[in-house]
C-alpha cells in the first residue's frame, strides 16, 4: 500500500495501518523518516499529528508492506533492545533567523566541477558550498546566481526561529536529506514552507515539495561573478534534469507568478540525462516583476515597433491604474473617467480604474519574447478597498492588443483604446466577441459602472 501525500490544510491527522480489534494498541512511528515500512507481525504502524505536533508529511510517499516487521514487538526479557544498525536518524538543527550551519556529508559530493565533504545549511531555504550564507541581503535572483555555489530549495526570507524546524538525516553512507518543515516566512507566521533536498554521492540533487505559501527561488547555481542561468518551468519537468555539471537552472516565483511545485519532486543530475547546454529556445518569454507604488508609472522597452493610432512606438508606459500609455506615462491622481481616457495620452485601458499595486498580496509583471509583450496586473484592489482584480494585456508588432480578464471586482472601470488628444471623441461598443477595429475612430471602449461588469474570464482584442 503506497500513500502519497500532497498538500494539507487542516491540523489533526493519522497516517498508518491498523490490525483493529478490541484492545488493539501499538507504539507510534516517525513515518517522515521512512519510505518503506513493514507491518508484518505488528498490530499497527502509524503516526498522528496535532496538539502541537505539526504535520510534516506533505510531499512524501510511504509504502506499507506485509513483510515481517523490521523492529519486533518488545521482548519482555529485553525491554531495551539495541538500536537497529544503519537505521537513519534525523537531527534537528537549532537555527536562528539568517543563520548558517556546516554539516558533514559523510561522502564526497560533486557539484559544478568541485568536490565537497561539507554542505552549509542556511536558514533561508538554501544550501551553499565552500562557505555559509547568513547575510540579510535580499534573496534575489542576482544573489542566487552570483554568490557561492548554491542549491535553492525554497530560497526566500525564512525564519526557523519563529516556527518550524530544519533537520538533517543521513539516509545512507552516500545520501543525505535536509528538510525545512513548516518554517515561517520572516514576519509572516501564517505563511510557511515545507520542502526537502536530498544529495547523493553521484551528484544527484532531488528537491521535494510540500506546501509552500510564499515567493521563492528553486534550482541550482554554480555561483560566481557574472554567472547567468537558464530559467525553466520546473512544474512541467519529469525524470532527471541533466545540467552537465556546468549549467545553472532555476525558477523564480513571485506574487505575479505563484509557487506551483507543491506536491512535486524535481531532480537535477550532473550527467547529460537531458541536453546539458541546450540552445535558448526562441520566443520563450522571461517574466520580470514590476515594483509599483499607487499612482505610479514605469516604462519598458517593447523590443519591436508597435503601431497605434498612426504613431509607432518602441516603448510603452505601464501605469498603476490598469492602463498603458504611449509617449509619456500617467501617474496623475485625477479622476479615472471617460474624459481623461479620451483626451490624455494615447492609451490602452486594460481595466482603467483607481487600482493600487502597492497593496498587500498585489503584484505586477511583464514578459516579452521579441514577438509580443504581456503585462500582468495580479490581485490589485481598488485604492482603499478590499478585493482583487487580475487582468493581462498583450501587445503584438501587428498592432493587435489582447486583453484577458481574470477575476474582477471593480465597481466602475473602462476597457478600450484611445487616440487621446484635446477634443477627442470615441465610440462605445461591446468589446467582447470578435475583433474590435479602431481604425478611423478616436477611441473604441466600453465603460462599466451603472451596470455590472460582465467580462470576468473574457477576452477582448483590439486591432487597427
Domain of 445 in residue numbering reads as 286-463
DSSP secondary structure code for residue 75 in this structure:
B
Q: Which residues contact 234 (CB under 8 A, 6 or more apart)?
A: 218, 219, 251, 261, 264, 266
Tell me the torsion sign for CA atoms 81, 83, 87, 92: positive
Please state, in angstroms and rounded to a whole number, the distance separating the CA atoms of residues 2 and 72.
22
Q: Are 177 and 309 within one domain?
A: no
Residues 216 and 362 in one domain: no
Total domains in the chain come to 3
Between CA 279 and CA 259 the distance in angstroms is: 26
Taking a C-beta distance cutoff of 8 angstroms, is the pair 202, 240 a contact?
A: no
> Is residue 432 located within the same domain as residue 349?
yes
Does residue 74 lie in a domain region?
no
Residue 87 confidence (pLDDT): 56
Query: CB count, 10 Å around CB of 407?
Result: 12
Kindly state the DSSP code that residue 234 receives in the 8-state scheme. Answer: G
Within-domain flag for 368: yes
Least Cα distance to 221 among 149, 288, 113 occurs for 149
Q: Are residues 360 and 448 in the same domain?
A: yes
Give the Å distances, CA to CA, from 439 to 190, 307, 373: 52, 11, 22
255, 221: one domain: yes
The CA dihedral of 192, 218, 207, 105, to the nearest 10 degrees, is -100
Flag whether 123 is in a domain: yes
Q: How far is CA 80 from CA 44, 58, 71, 88, 408, in A?
A: 20, 32, 12, 19, 64
Q: What angle do CA 154, 250, 58 make, to 5 degrees?
A: 35
Residue with cell 536562528: 96
The domain boundary residue, chosen from 214, 241, 269: 269
Long-range contacts of 448-456 (CB under 8 A, 24+ apart): 448/410, 448/412, 448/413, 448/414, 448/415, 449/411, 449/412, 449/413, 453/408, 453/410, 453/413, 455/405, 455/408, 455/415, 455/431, 456/405, 456/406, 456/407, 456/408
Is the pTM value of this prediction over 0.85? Answer: no
Per the domain annotation, does 444 fall within a domain?
yes
Residues 105 and 25 in one domain: no
Q: Which of 160, 123, 155, 120 is nearest to 140 (CA)?
A: 155
Please check whether residue 85 lies inside any domain of the structure.
no
Q: How many CA atoms lie within 13 A of 83 on its CB side?
A: 5
Burial class (CB in 10 A: 0-12, 13-18, 19+), 103: middle
Q: Identify whether 76 is part of a domain.
A: no
Do 335 and 241 share a structural domain?
no
Q: Same structural domain for residues 319 and 245?
A: no
Same domain, 256 and 109: yes
* N-terminal to C-terminal alpha carbon distance within the chain: 61
Find residue 311's DSSP bridge partners: 308
Q: Which helix (H) or strand (E) holds 145?
A: helix 141-146
Q: Are residues 253 and 371 in the same domain?
A: no
Is residue 207 included in any domain, yes or no? yes
Please indicate, yes or no, whether residues 252 and 293 belong to a single structural domain of this protein: no
Radius of gyration of the chain (CA): 27
Distance between CA 212 and CA 387 in Å, rounded? 23
**Residue 82 domain-assigned?**
no
The SS3 assignment for 33 reads: helix
Q: What is the pLDDT along the chain (464 residues), one digit of tens a residue?
A: 889 888 777 778 899 999 888 878 888 888 887 778 888 778 888 888 887 778 888 878 888 888 764 444 455 565 555 555 555 678 999 999 999 999 999 999 999 989 999 999 999 999 999 999 999 999 999 999 999 999 999 999 999 999 999 999 998 899 999 999 999 999 887 778 999 999 999 999 999 998 888 889 999 999 988 888 888 899 888 778 888 777 899 999 987 788 888 888 999 998 754 443 444 445 556 678 899 999 999 999 999 999 999 999 999 999 999 999 999 999 999 999 999 999 999 999 999 999 999 998 889 999 988 789 999 999 999 999 888 889 999 999 999 999 998 888 888 999 999 999 999 999 999 888 678 999 899 999 999 886 667 777 788 899 98
458 and 422 inside one domain: yes
Provide DSSP, 236-284. G--SEEE-TTT--EEEEE-SSS----TT-EEEEESS-SS-SSPPPPTT-
For residue 399, give the DSSP letter: S
Q: What is the pLDDT of residue 72?
A: 46
Amino acid at each position: 500500500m503506497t500513500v502519497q501525500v500532497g498538500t494539507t490544510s487542516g491540523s489533526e491527522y493519522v497516517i498508518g495501518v491498523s490490525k483493529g480489534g478490541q484492545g488493539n494498541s501499538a507504539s507510534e512511528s516517525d513515518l517522515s523518516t521512512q519510505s518503506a515500512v513493514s507491518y508484518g507481525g505488528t498490530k499497527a504502524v502509524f503516526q498522528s499529528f496535532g496538539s502541537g505536533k505539526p504535520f510534516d508529511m506533505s510531499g512524501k510517499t510511504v509504502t506499507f508492506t506485509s513483510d515481517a516487521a523490521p523492529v519486533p514487538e518488545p521482548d519482555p526479557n529485553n525491554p531495551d533492545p539495541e538500536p537497529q544498525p544503519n537505521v537513519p536518524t534525523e537531527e534537528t538543527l537549532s537555527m536562528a533567523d539568517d543563520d548558517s550551519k556546516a554539516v558533514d556529508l559523510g561522502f564526497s559530493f560533486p557539484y559544478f566541477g568541485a568536490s565537497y565533504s561539507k554542505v552549509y545549511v542556511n536558514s533561508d531555504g538554501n544550501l551553499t558550498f565552500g562557505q555559509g550564507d547568513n547575510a540579510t541581503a535580499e534573496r534575489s535572483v542576482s544573489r542566487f546566481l552570483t554568490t557561492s555555489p548554491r542549491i535553492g530549495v525554497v530560497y526566500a526570507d525564512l525564519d526557523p526561529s519563529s516556527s518550524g524546524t530544519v533537520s538533517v538525516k543521513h539516509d545512507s553512507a552516500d545520501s543525505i536529506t535536509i528538510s525545512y518543515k513548516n518554517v515561517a516566512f520572516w514576519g509572516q507566521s501564517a505563511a510557511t514552507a515545507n520542502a526537502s533536498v536530498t544529495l547523493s554521492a553521484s551528484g544527484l540533487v532531488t528537491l521535494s515539495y510540500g506546501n509552500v505559501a510564499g515567493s521563492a527561488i528553486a534550482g541550482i547555481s554554480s555561483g560566481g561573478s557574472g554567472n547567468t542561468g537558464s530559467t525553466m518551468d520546473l512544474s512541467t519537468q519529469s525524470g532527471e534534469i541533466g545540467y552537465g555539471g556546468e549549467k545553472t537552472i532555476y525558477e523564480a516565483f513571485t506574487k505575479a507568478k505563484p509557487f506551483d511545485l507543491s506536491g512535486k519532486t524535481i531532480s537535477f543530475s550532473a550527467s547529460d540525462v537531458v541536453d546539458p547546454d541546450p540552445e535558448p529556445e526562441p520566443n520563450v518569454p522571461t517574466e520580470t516583476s514590476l515594483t509599483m507604488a499607487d499612482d505610479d508609472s514605469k516604462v519598458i522597452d517593447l523590443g519591436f515597433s508597435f503601431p497605434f493610432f498612426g504613431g509607432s512606438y518602441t516603448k510603452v508606459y505601464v501605469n498603476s491604474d490598469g492602463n498603458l500609455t504611449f509617449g509619456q506615462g500617467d501617474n496623475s491622481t485625477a479622476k479615472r473617467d471617460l474624459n481623461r481616457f479620451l483626451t490624455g495620452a494615447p492609451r490602452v485601458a486594460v481595466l482603467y480604474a483607481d487600482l493600487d499595486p502597492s497593496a498587500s498580496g498585489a503584484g505586477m509583471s511583464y514578459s516579452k519574447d521579441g514577438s509580443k509583450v504581456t503585462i500582468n496586473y495580479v490581485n490589485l484592489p481598488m485604492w482603499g478597498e478590499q478585493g482583487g482584480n487580475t487582468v493581462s494585456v498583450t501587445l503584438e508588432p501587428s498592432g493587435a492588443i489582447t486583453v484577458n480578464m481574470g477575476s474582477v471586482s471593480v465597481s466602475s472601470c473602462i476597457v478600450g483604446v484611445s487616440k487621446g488628444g484635446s477634443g477627442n471623441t470615441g465610440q462605445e461598443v461591446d468589446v467582447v466577441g470578435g475583433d474590435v477595429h479602431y481604425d478611423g475612430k478616436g477611441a473604441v471602449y466600453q465603460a462599466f459602472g451603472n451596470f455590472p461588469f460582465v467580462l470576468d474570464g473574457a477576452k477582448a482584442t483590439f486591432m487597427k
